[in-house]
A and B are shown apart, each in its own frame.
Chain A
Amino acid sequence: MSGDKPWETVIGLEIHAQLATRAKIFSGSATAYGAAPNAQASLVDLGYPGVLPVLNGAAVRMAVLFGLAIGARIAPRSVFARKNYFYPDLPKGYQISQFELPIVAGGHMDIVLEDGSVKRINVTRAHLEEDAGKSLHEGLPGLTGIDLNRAGTPLIEIVSEPDMRSAKEAVAYMKKVHTLVRYLRICDGNMQEGSFRCDANVSVRPLGAAEYGTRAEIKNINSFRYVEKAINFEVARQIELLEGGGKVVQETRLYDPDRGETRSMRSKEEANDYRYFPDPDLLPVEIDADFIRDLAAQLPELPDQKAQRFSTQYGLSGYDAQVLTASSELADYYEAVVRELGGEAKLAANWVSGDLAALLNRDGLEIAHSRVGAAGLAALLRRVQDRTISGKIAKDVFEAMWSEQTSADAIIAARGLQQITDDGPIEQAIASVMAANPGQLADFRAGKDKLFGFFVGQVMKATQGKANPARLNELLKQKLSG
């Protein structure tokens, strides 16, 4: 391989989204996160002798909703299969998944690239399966504990085509799927708790080559940032390997966020033969047109549709519309602010995606837990709109509302932040500033126009920033030219 030849990155993602059902996929156990180990593991989850799985219909409905939302084909008949392998956190010695006949096939998601262009990522399939439990080592020196609370939690595994060409595209796609599953309310999207995670298949090839390169699969990445870093590390590793005359081996790798690198877990030769076969304990899932029609009618407005509507209805840029529709809760919040304000859609957009987003981000809060509600923010913006306060003062008021949990009007009143619009007090302030700065006044009058700004600042300071800027300008001009 020649060292100066450009390389093309090829990425496909397998996203695991935990479905937000109350009960597990094949048992009645609860799926809530954080219970004491094995408190949510029934005999079925423990794989006891003689127990049998019974499919939770809610998981099927959620998978179908997802399929409909990405324009996929819903299989009229899908089949659960057993994926056989031994592992301590896999109680039955097999995972119930779907193999040859998944419930969702085909479909696509459109992502917006950095240059604003739209790229279509095709989805190969999405299938239902159960999650495994987890092994615990902390506080158990020399031992391994098994927590089967997660065993049997319903997952949908969304497999993309190898359509992404950079880590950024992969992240954009993953975010898009994340947004969609939360819109559909089929997954809480909580990545720390593992509700949304992915495996990335990464390969490189000389630009223009027809064949794909040998790929490595990076397992179980649970943050957008790690996905980007893991892929970039892996791409660099593969290119370096190839340019050094080496070969990429097909293997499973693990991303270590502490060291920022991927490491080999097992090679293809060590890979399990999963001996998939249809699970005889479960009947095929039969889905008819009525079932699909009912669910299609329940589909909410989807992210792309909402962004499109925001652009036209509120006159927002494509970018603003994307930002404000990143979650349905954020979009709802924004629309509530506009409704309260009775317009000023652009002002509201700037505030929601600017100041509000900054504080949410600073405090690590979701929009649902915003310390200022939509009505509260609208009340503040109304004071900007009617010129009670300036936009600059409004930022301080907003901070105060955030920390003190009081209304804009209460803060404005308590701190006396109303703009001064009467001429009297402004003229008084101008007079005292002029009196205190005779040298500057003389210079100004001698032609140093630049000093106008100095006087504006001084008068603003004297009025604690409350002087109406337009009026101040006007009056100051009159007096200085005096």
Chain B
Amino acid sequence: MHSETVTQLIRGLRARKYSAVELTRALLSRIEAAQPALNAFISIESECALAAAAEADRALAAGDAPALTGVPIAHKDIFCALGSRTTCGSKMLGNFIAPYDATVVARLRAAGAVVLGKTNMDEFAMGSSNETSHFGPVRNPWELGRVPGGSSGGSAAAVAARLVPAATATDTGGSIRQPAALCGVTGLKPTYGRVSRYGMIAFASSLDQGGTLTRTAEDAALLLGTIAGFDPRDSTSVERPVPDYTQSLNLPLRGLRIGLLKEFFDQGLDPAIEVLLRSALDVLRSQGAVLQEVSLPNLPLSVPTYYVVAPAECSSNLARFDGVRFGYRCENPRDLKDLYERSRGEGFGPEVKRRIMTGTYVLSAGYYDAYYLKAQRVRALIAADFARAFAGVDVLIGPTTPTTAFELGAKTSDPVTMYLNDIYTIGANLAGLPAISVPCGFVAGLPVGMQIVGPHFGEERLLNVAHRYQMATDWHQRAPGAYG
């Protein structure tokens, strides 16, 4: 059961090959068994999961069960779920029980999904290796000495290790796609505004977008159809119909115009990764796709731009964690100032503090124009570059990451080196574009991801290309040895 995809599990559950309770039990025991080595979960919610599974079995027996009834999933611990501890990977929220459901959580709940637990993540989604989590790093199931990527490292590792068939995740600068690439799974970051941010603890509001980690593009299509759509509680969610993304998965690729991002192939790309990408492109070309090189001249500015915009927003978004109403509060504060300083000083980890300080600095009087305003201008230029590119091509393809999974601790001492992990993924966030990472091979036994970027609301096309590619290859079916 554990190796089946969401699509297969839906069939299996309906054909009564196994009950939802049996499925849930089986996966819960895999999760428990893997936890000491992988640390993919922050909370394992066995009791609630089994109760939900029993309810799913009743609904399946009654014959009126919604689409995902009985399908086990996990939520990144950034999503608030009613009555469930929601830590965001931080000591600050170590004791926080969410009093409401995020829209993504509510929609999956309404569709019948069974939540097995909350996955580990970089603290407040700030990190590219899952090493900033207060709850310890997640380890890459392909090689335990390596990182799973971040910030959705727990979700990616859990899906890769066949602990859950799918997990929710969020992507602010690559936090879905980068761990998807490093763990060999499929990671979809939808268009900004496609999925409600309500109940998703904010890191950088103008960049954050909820999405999925699955093993196949087909499953991503299924889940996106469930979580996407306008939400009156999120002003930035877009009022636009949600198509059935599974309907367009098999469309032929004949005539598909693929843009190869010149800038992505230029700078410091591992030649072994480039070889894999070129052969993946051959697969698409063999199905009738046409390739052309595309240049986005402002794209190389995306990392510095991102590291002004994201910290600026985070410095404000994280101000609410002040020890007054919820979350961590220091012992015996002397006065208000002491309460603020120690609650925040003790509750946040070093990477979160670094970004709050950076963000506070770039918004300060006298620096705002030079940093924040300039970054917003560059952001507009990058978005315009993409818009120009999509006038001539249907999708852009390039690597997801410059390297495969690196060793734990290899980059923790140098934040800038760590930040460069997101060099290929940040552009889509700055421009609000949808992007997907799919496995396209292995270098020295470690998975490599291919990134496909589309125009706004171009998810159908992305999923179509990814699905056709997965139909022609089997990289996405490979499981890490110990978790097959």
* Chain A interface residues (CB < 8 Å from chain B): 43, 46-55, 82, 84, 86, 88, 91-94, 144, 146, 273, 275-277, 280-283
For B80-106 the 0/1 string (1 means CB < 8 A from A) is 100000101000010010111010000
> Besides the contacts A48-B100, A49-B201, A277-B372, what 18 more A-B pairs have beta carbons closer than 8 Å?
A43-B99, A49-B202, A49-B321, A50-B86, A50-B199, A50-B202, A51-B198, A52-B198, A54-B235, A92-B320, A94-B316, A146-B325, A275-B315, A275-B316, A275-B363, A275-B365, A277-B368, A280-B204
Q: Which residues of A contact B312 (CB under 8 A)?
A: 277
**Interchain residue pairs with CB less than 8 A apart (26):** A43-B100, A46-B325, A48-B100, A48-B320, A49-B80, A49-B88, A49-B93, A49-B326, A50-B200, A52-B233, A53-B235, A54-B232, A84-B316, A86-B340, A88-B336, A93-B316, A93-B320, A93-B322, A94-B316, A146-B325, A273-B365, A275-B315, A276-B363, A277-B372, A281-B205, A281-B235
Instruction: Please determine whether A52 and B234 come into contact, CB atoms closer than 8 angstroms.
Output: yes
Determine if B364 and A283 form an interchain contact, defined as CB atoms under 8 angstroms apart: no
Least CB distance from B151 to A in Å reads 16
Query: Which residues on the A side are within 8 Å of B102 (C-beta)?
Result: 50
User: What residue of chain B has the Cβ atom nearest to residue A26's Cβ?
Assistant: B235
Rounded to whole Å, the gap between the CB of A278 and the closest CB of chain B is: 9
In the bound assembly, the distance between CA atoms of A94 and B319 in angstroms comes to: 7
The distance from the CB of B438 to the nearest CB of chain A, in whole angstroms, is 29
The interface residues of chain A lying within 8 Å CB-to-CB of B372 are 277
Whether a CB of chain A sits under 8 angstroms from the CB of B360 is yes
CB–CB A84/B363 < 8 A: yes
Decide if B295 is an interface residue (CB 8 Å cutoff).
no
A49→B321 CA distance, assembly (Å): 8
CB contacts (< 8 Å) of B327 on chain A: these are: 49
Given contacts A47-B320, A54-B233, A86-B340, contact A280 B206 (CB under 8 A): yes
Q: Given that A48-B326, A49-B326, A86-B319 are contacting pairs, would A280 and B340 also be in contact in the complex, using a CB cutoff of 8 Å?
A: no
Docked pose: A273 CA to B236 CA in angstroms: 28
Q: Confirm or deny: B324 has a beta carbon within 8 angstroms of a beta carbon on chain A.
A: yes
- CA distance in complex: A276, B93 (Å): 27
Q: Distance (Å) between the CB of A459 and the closest chain B CB?
A: 78
Decide yes or no: A52 and B99 within 8 Å by CB, A82-B316, A281-B236 being known contacts.
Answer: no
Q: Taking the nearest CB of chain B, how far is it from the CB of A33, in angstroms?
A: 22
- Return A98 CB to nearest CB of chain B, in Å: 15
Interface membership of B197, Cβ < 8 A: yes
If A49-B320, A82-B316, A280-B236 touch, does A275 touch B200 (CB 8 Å cutoff)? Answer: no
Main secondary structure of the interface of A (DSSP, over half): loop
Cα distance A283–B192 in the bound complex, in angstroms = 13
A51's contact among B199, B206, B364, by CB below 8 Å, is which?
Answer: B199
B171 within 8 A of A: no
B310 → A minimal CB distance (Å): 11
Contacts of A47 in B (CB 8 A): 320, 325
Report whether A52 and B197 are in contact in the complex, using a CB–CB cutoff of 8 Å: yes
Bound CA–CA A53/B326 (angstroms): 19
Does the CB pair A50–B201 fall under 8 Å? yes
B313 interface residue per 8 A CB criterion: yes
Which chain B residues lie closer than 8 Å to A53 at the CB level? Answer: 235
Report the bound CA distance from A48 to B321 in whole Å.
Answer: 9
The CA of A118 and the CA of B325, in the complex, are separated in Å by 51
* Shortest Cβ gap from B478 to chain A (Å): 35
- Ranked nearest first, the 5 interchain pairs of A and B with the lowest CB-CB distance are A93-B319, A275-B363, A280-B206, A280-B205, A50-B199
Give the contacts of B280-331 with A (CB-CB under 8 A). Answer: 312-313, 315-316, 318-322, 324-327
CB distance from B29 to the nearest CB of A (A): 31
Q: Which of A51, A55, A82 neighbours the largest number of chain B CB atoms within 10 Å of its CB?
A: A51
Across the two chains, which residue of chain B brings its CB closest to A89? B324
Roughly how many angstroms separate A372 CA and B93 CA in the complex, as a whole number? 61
B198 touches A50 (CB 8 A): yes
Q: A49 — which chain B residues lie within 8 A by C-beta?
A: 80, 86, 88, 93, 96, 98, 201-202, 320-321, 326-327
B80 and A92 contacting across the interface, CB-CB below 8 Å: no
Cross-chain contact B236 with A86 (CB below 8 angstroms): no
Please, which residues of chain A bring their CB within 8 A of the CB of B96? 49
Closest B residue, CB atoms, query A277: B363
- Given the known interface contacts A51-B199, A82-B316, A92-B320, the answer about A282 and B360 at a Cβ–Cβ threshold of 8 Å is no
Q: A51-B198, A52-B233, A281-B205 are in contact. Are A91 and B316 (CB under 8 A)?
A: no
Residue of chain A at shortest CB distance from B365 = A273
Bound-state CA distance A53–B324 (Å) is 20
- Cα distance, A93 to B363, chains bound together (Å): 15
Chain B residues with Cβ below 8 Å from A46 are 325
Choose among A46, A48, A49, A283 the residue with the greatest number of B CB atoms under 10 Å from its CB. Answer: A49
* Contact present for A86 and B322 (CB under 8 Å): yes
Question: Using a CB-CB cutoff of 8 Å, which residues 218-253 of chain B contact chain A?
Answer: 232-236
B199 near A55 with CB under 8 A, answer no
Query: Measured between alpha carbons, how far is A280 from B100 in the docked complex, in Å?
Result: 22
Report which residue of B80, B313, B325 has the largest number of chain A beta carbons within 10 angstroms of its beta carbon: B325
Contact of A280 among B199, B201, B313, B336 (CB under 8 A): B313
For A273, the chain B residues whose CB sits under 8 A away are 364-365
**Docked complex Cα distance between A282 and B234 (Å):** 9
Which residues of the partner chain A approach B365 to less than 8 Å between Cβ atoms?
273, 275
